Amino acid sequence: LATSAPACPVSWSSVPRPWSSPPGKADFGAGWFAAVPAYRLATLRVALAVTTLVFHVPKFTGLINTYVASAFHVPPALPWMPPLTPSGGAALIALQHVAAWGLLLGLGPRLCAWFLAAVGFYVISLDPEHYSHNAQFHLTLLALVGCSSDRVSLPRLLRADDSGDRCPAWPERLVRIQLCIVFFYAALDKVFSPYWGLSGTLLPALGVTEHGPGLAWLQGVNQAVIRAFPAAMSAVTNVLEFFLAVAFLCRPLWQAGIVVAFVFVVYLEFLLRPGVFTWDVLAALLLFVPAGDQGWRIVYDPECTSCRWNRALLSRLDWLRRLRWVPTADAVGIEARPALARDGARMGLHLVSPRGRAYRGFDAFRVLPVILPGPVFVVMALARFGGGFLAGRGHGPWYDLPYLVLGGLLVLWMPGVARFVGRPLYAVVAAAWDHRPRRGGPAVRGADGACRAHARGRA
């Protein structure tokens, strides 16, 4: 198989390739009612369920408790809306937890999503002070997930097989359109606001969260730049939001939109003002990546213990069904690029991209978070809101926990890290694991005792 030029790991190129799924399986250009792989919506549902459990439910529980504990209530947004009683508030709190767990596990997910959205809109309608754009965006996403019919429960999502589940495409399209609406409305609101526009008076006045050393320094630099150039920073914010609103409507701009949106919302989260908006946007971005194409191939030896462990673990993390496991006997012609056949990349994983570029060892390891965005999102969200829970109880600057996780992933791509640290360390760990006693004698292993898939990199 001829190798191509280095390609972005998130590419969904339609270049013909062997061992690929049938044409059109990951096609984004299908009609509104065409059948598409159900794994994208199922992954989005799990991501939203996690943020609902760790942020939305605790927040709305606090709003309900505050409302029922107060003797004075402002008129609700709708005159016919019944007030909330203490017993009704307790019931809603309990049912919110049940619905959130049902949404996560995939037990009646449509009913659970609609219930959470309805309760949320009811609570924010009881008192205008409860309303926020971020909460409305989260509730809208829940309502749109309630329209889906993916029928992929969490156990099935974690199951290491591809049953070809499909669902109508229109809920995915509505979520993408909603993302465009959010950014367009945010940009348009700033254009007509006297505090944004060319004045930029609001941006320097925004409160920021205190962070530990390192991130606090970056935050200080960011605040200094904002105070020095408030109008320019305000204009850049408007331009970025308008660009994202357009990018998510135009498929040729999706790749650029994903990168810009990721950088923008991460900037908002860590250097400006943290909130659930960042995590809802990141969850919605899952609908812009391929699913069910099995375009990434992992060459493995069925007789190798470490290969079997890798398959057992990674298959359960492959929620979007992007991986195809190719036994060494069927992998004739898959060879690494010469530049990758170095001492640090000869063992462990052997990963081949949809465009034919091969990654081995440490290089394959650092690509995995891009191929498996669903589990990475869950880890980051738990780190963010779990850290916030600890920090809110005076246990230190745990707000920085997701920053450390993200920083650790980005460090893997820094120049020199792979050559001087990553590959040598990975080679030592992989060699120690490969030479453990395993099923099969020397006939099923390479001359040096490693499995055949790993021995291919030493040839």
pLDDT in tens, 349-366: 889 998 889 898 888 989
Q: Which of 54-58, 328-332, 393-397, 435-439 has the lowest mean pLDDT?
A: 435-439
**Per-residue model confidence (pLDDT) at position 28:** 60
**Per-residue model confidence (pLDDT) at position 42:** 94
**Per-residue model confidence (pLDDT) at position 387:** 74
**Per-residue model confidence (pLDDT) at position 120:** 93
The pTM of this model reads 0.83
**Per-residue model confidence (pLDDT) at position 162:** 67
Q: Which of 101-110, 193-202, 422-431 has the lowest mean pLDDT?
A: 193-202
**Per-residue model confidence (pLDDT) at position 198:** 63
Q: Amino acid identity, residue 410?
A: L
Question: Rounded mean pLDDT of 116-127?
Answer: 91
Q: Which of 211-215, 263-267, 283-287, 431-435 has the lowest mean pLDDT?
A: 431-435
Q: Which residue has the tokens 């005792």?
A: 449
Residue 333: band (very low, low, confident or very high) from pLDDT cuts 50, 70, 90: low
Q: Which of 65-74, 100-109, 117-126, 330-339 has the lowest mean pLDDT?
A: 330-339
Per-residue exposure over 150-170, b if at least 16 CB sit within 10 Å of its own CB, e if not: bebbbebbeeeebeebbbbbb
Which residues neighbour 227 within 8 Å (Cβ) at sequence distance 6 or greater? 204
pLDDT digits (tens, 9 = 90+) for 161-182: 767 788 899 999 999 999 999 9
Entry field: residues in the chain:
459
Radius of gyration (Cα) for the chain, nearest Å?
24
**Per-residue model confidence (pLDDT) at position 404:** 83
3-state secondary structure (DSSP) of residue 350:
strand
Question: Rounded mean pLDDT of 207-229?
Answer: 77
Angle, vertex CA 305, rays to CA 302 and CA 308, nearest 5: 55
Asked if residue 427 lies in contact with residue 343, where contact means CB atoms within 8 angstroms, the answer is: yes
Q: Which residue has the tokens 């308008």?
A: 242
Query: Pseudo-torsion of CA 6, 10, 15, 21, nearest 10°?
Result: 130
Residue 4: band (very low, low, confident or very high) from pLDDT cuts 50, 70, 90: very low
Higher pLDDT, 459 or 391: 391
pLDDT at 408 over 90: no
Asked if residue 331 lies in contact with residue 410, where contact means CB atoms within 8 angstroms, the answer is: no
**Cα gap 171→27, rounded to integer Å:** 15
**Cα gap 242→325, rounded to integer Å:** 41
Instruction: Report the relative pairing of strands 350-352 and 358-360 from DSSP bridges.
Output: antiparallel
3-state secondary structure (DSSP) of residue 332:
coil
Q: What percent of the chain has pLDDT over 70?
A: 77
Q: What is the mean pLDDT of the chain?
A: 80
- DSSP label at residue 346: S
373: nearest Cα among 350, 344, 326, 406: 406
What tokens does 46 get? 């799990």
pLDDT digits (tens, 9 = 90+) for 43-95: 999 999 999 999 999 999 999 999 898 878 788 878 888 888 999 999 999 99
Asked if residue 273 lies in contact with residue 283, where contact means CB atoms within 8 angstroms, the answer is: no
**Cα gap 341→363, rounded to integer Å:** 11
pLDDT at 429 over 60: yes
Asked if residue 180 lies in contact with residue 245, where contact means CB atoms within 8 angstroms, the answer is: yes
**Per-residue model confidence (pLDDT) at position 13:** 40
pLDDT digits (tens, 9 = 90+) for 250-260: 999 999 999 99
